[in-house]
Amino acid sequence: MSDRQHQNSGTTDVREALRFDVEALEQYMTAHVESFRGPLEASQFKGGQSNPTYLLDSQSGKYVLRRKPPGRLLKSAHAVDREFRVISALYAADFPVPRPYVLCEDEAVIGTSFFIMEFVDGRIFWDLDLPELETQERTAIYDNVNATIAQLHNFDANALGLADYGKRGNYFERQISRWAGQYRASETATIESMNALIDWLPQNIPEDDSSSIVHGDFRLDNLILHPENPEVVAVLDWELSTIGHPLADFTYHLMAWQMPKIGIGSTGLLDKDLGKLGIPGEKDYTARYCERTGRDDGIPDRGFYSAFNFFRLAAILQGIAGRVRDGTAASAHASDAEQGVGPLADAGWRFASKA
């Protein structure tokens, strides 16, 4: 098992700052979760940086709890109510998400709002080259991941009852403004390439103004694969989902093929021998997505999308660094985030300069 796989897999004792009254939660679940039976025990998942996520063990089975972190939070961040809503709609549409059980917005129960969903058994891979698998299974997994994000973008938000889940149109203008604002609110050092991107991006937005349901953080380690088959059985972590631009979502996913070594997280697929691994190259992977979503002209303005996504990820990591500063970070490894902001911004500016 690689260091990254080991670091993020499984559970650990609940961190001191993120503990809650388990007995109060057990009483709440007895009243609100169908067929639940205590006693209840809670542990914390190692992976994840934003909304603390817990494994709940009980006599009636395993559950997962997602909650807002305690403490001072950025406006609009950690919206567990939105996560619960989109998961509920997608579960009803037979999209691979965990079954949602209940949303609790009464902060008196455990200190913050939360929701409970089913525990989905399966495999989570933190290394993008899937070193423990055979070539044929790698190929099949990446094809199924591709089909899953295409299925998401092909949904009609109105038909799913999500017409008002986000604003339509001007997605990039709004996103750039949002993440620039959150970056400024969490800023801990001056990064010239980040400042350059904040100026450049609003002036270079493509004309394509498509909209769809978007996940916002669609990557391999946010997916649960079937225990034995190369099949996505659950997509996790919907905190950043909205009605947005499908190409923003897909090209963010494509960062797996572009990510330079930044000292944290996965090393990505850049410079890997993909043919030997059985993993499609970025061009072939993109073509398959375009076939599945009816994009006959491929993805023009590729440089803008890459610059935008590196900027956005840098802003997200800066937000994590801000939570470390404020003492509200959810992961024990959150303090590593700040060192990735500068290299990500630099990579984004290289794409912008070439575009």
| pLDDT the model gives residue 206 | 96
Q: What pLDDT was estimated at residue 230?
A: 98
Domain ranges (residues) in the chain: 3-118, 135-354
Name, in order, each residue with C-beta under 8 angstroms of 55's C-beta and a sequence gap of 6 or more: 11, 42, 43, 44, 45, 62, 63, 64, 119
Supply the pLDDT for residue 10: 77
Q: What is the mean pLDDT of residues 57-71?
A: 92
Q: Give the lowest-confidence range in 16-30, 40-54, 78-92, 239-253.
A: 40-54
φ and ψ at residue 315, rounded to 5 degrees: -65, -40
* CATH number of this structure's domain 135-354, picked from the four choices 3.40.50.720, 3.20.20.70, 3.90.1200.10, 3.30.479.30: 3.90.1200.10
What pLDDT score does 261 carry? 76
More confident residue, 113 or 73: 113
| Least confident stretch, 43-47, 216-220, 350-354 | 43-47
CATH architecture of the domain with residue range 3-118: 2-Layer Sandwich (3.30)
Q: What is the pLDDT of residue 40?
A: 97
pLDDT at 262: 72
Q: What is the pLDDT of residue 5?
A: 61
- Given a cut of 90, whether residue 189 has pLDDT beyond it is no
What is the mean pLDDT of the segment spanning 277-300?
96
Q: How far apart are CA 215 and CA 242, in angstroms?
A: 7
Once rounded to an integer, what is the mean pLDDT over residues 212-237? 96
Q: Which amino acid is at 273?
A: D
Residues in the chain: 355
The predicted structure's pLDDT at residue 4: 61
Residues 56-81 have a mean pLDDT of 82
pLDDT at 328: 61
